[in-house]
């Protein structure tokens, strides 16, 4: 490379560096939820935060890994605006096709993991007379989970495969996205209006409904795509050396640390929003990579949804087995952490290729017949 930056077209290599961001977002949640192994009932017991595996390296993820969800919403907005914005406006994607595309991608694995967690929570309850991590595992919350509305405001708390909550919220945004495009068309003005409405609701409302956060990150991700396309068209930023953008990515968190900006209200929300959008813009740049590296990154990207939905069922299973064998979980051992991550990624890889992708093709083919 000569240091100059060019932008990659969205459909070329599946925006390969955005696949890296997707994987990192999912990985950060895996690390953040590692604490589940220390749970007795609904809270950690004798939990030594300073003695966790690879603590010096992974401490930011142990503390703030939940922000991976925010990044994921931002990435989703970026991708949805590219994939569907024009096709919905031009009526090339019907409401039915849009729904089937989302349903075929999300629901099969959700249903499978829901049934698995339902069975394992019963088994865990028989062992310990309490549920594991998420306490609202009754028929009412099973109903909510079954229809993918587990976090639409009807719930009493987290239930069954708890991490699915963020996908449940995002489904509302999918609906908002489709309707606003149909009624208002392709307009940054309306997108910004939606973002501002949610920001004001977040600032002045007595409730802190997470839907506002999801809409803000989703639509900011979409606006990042629009800005990136504008820069690409005008050839803005192409004249800067690639090291300049790396410097910017380092400078932002360093500045926040140096001036102790984390003491400001909503700092983390704003930081992850701004930094996430910057990462998206820079990740749309084109670099020359070996085909093996490209295939590896694509495989990691394909594992994100599976790893997100499979890690909690796997945690319950591991805890049940260790309880049955009356062996204490070695959660502070590096090898156990690596074993857990490997198992999650391995199962996610198998799930995508042997279950998610075949089910997705089957449902879409069945719908087209």
Question: Which region among 72-81, 230-239, 273-282 has the lowest average model confidence (pLDDT)?
Answer: 230-239
In Å, how far are 61, 240, 249 from 4, measured between CA atoms?
Answer: 32, 6, 17
Residues above pLDDT 90, as percent of the chain: 38
- For the chain, the domains span 6-368
pLDDT score at 271: 75
Q: What's the CA dihedral at 360, 362, 363, 365 to 10 degrees?
A: 120
Top mean pLDDT of 2-16, 85-99, 282-296 is at 85-99
pLDDT tens for 152-170 read 988 888 999 999 999 999 9
> For 327-369, what is each residue's pLDDT tens digit?
899 999 999 999 999 999 999 999 999 999 999 999 988 877 6
Residues 6+ apart with CB under 8 A from 346: none
Categorize the per-residue pLDDT at 238 as very low, low, confident or very high, splitting at 50, 70 and 90. Answer: low
Of the two residues 259 and 270, the one the predictor is more confident about is: 270
* CA gap 64, 215 in Å, rounded: 20
Q: Which ranges in the chain belong to alpha helices (H)?
A: 16-32, 55-64, 68-89, 95-128, 139-146, 165-184, 188-204, 210-234, 242-258, 267-283, 291-302, 304-325, 334-351, 357-368
The pTM (predicted TM-score) of the whole model is: 0.87
Say if residue 240's pLDDT is above 60.
no
Percentage of the chain with pLDDT > 70?
Answer: 88
């Amino acid at each position: 490379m000569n240091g100059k930056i060019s932008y990659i077209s969205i459909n070329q290599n599946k925006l390969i560096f955005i696949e890296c961001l997707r994987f990192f977002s999912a990985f950060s949640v895996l690390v953040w939820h590692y604490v589940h192994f220390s749970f007795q009932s609904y809270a950690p017991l004798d939990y030594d935060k300073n003695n966790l595996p690879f603590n010096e390296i992974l401490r930011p993820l142990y503390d703030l890994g939940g922000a991976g969800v925010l990044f994921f919403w931002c990435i989703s907005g970026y991708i949805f605006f590219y994939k569907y914005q024009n096709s919905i406006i031009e009526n090339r994607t019907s409401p039915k096709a849009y729904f089937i595309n989302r349903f075929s991608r999300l629901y099969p694995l959700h249903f499978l993991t829901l049934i698995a967690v339902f069975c394992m929570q019963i088994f865990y309850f028989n062992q310990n007379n309490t549920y594991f991590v998420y306490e609202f595992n009754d028929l009412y919350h099973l109903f909510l989970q079954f229809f993918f509305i587990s976090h639409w405001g009807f719930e009493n708390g987290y239930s069954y495969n708890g991490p699915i909550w963020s996908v449940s919220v995002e489904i509302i945004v999918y609906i908002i996205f489709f309707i606003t495009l149909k009624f208002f068309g392709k307009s940054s003005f309306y997108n910004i209006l939606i973002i501002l409405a949610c920001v004001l609701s977040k600032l002045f409302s007595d409730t802190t409904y997470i839907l506002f956060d999801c809409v803000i990150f989703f639509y900011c991700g979409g606006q990042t795509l629009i800005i990136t396309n504008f820069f690409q068209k005008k050839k803005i930023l192409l004249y800067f050396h690639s090291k300049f953008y790396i410097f910017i990515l380092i400078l932002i968190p360093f500045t926040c640390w140096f001036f102790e900006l984390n003491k400001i209200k909503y700092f983390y929300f704003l930081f992850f929003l701004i930094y996430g959008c910057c990462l998206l813009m820079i990740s749309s740049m084109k670099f020359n990579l070996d085909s093996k590296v490209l295939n590896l990154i694509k495989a990691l990207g394909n594992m994100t949804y599976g790893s997100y939905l499979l890690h909690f069922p796997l945690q319950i299973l591991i805890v049940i087995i260790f309880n049955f064998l009356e062996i204490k979980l070695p959660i502070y051992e590096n090898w156990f952490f690596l074993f857990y991550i490997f198992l999650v990624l391995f199962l996610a890889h198998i799930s995508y290729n042997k279950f998610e992708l075949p089910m997705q093709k089957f449902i879409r083919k069945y719908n087209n017949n």
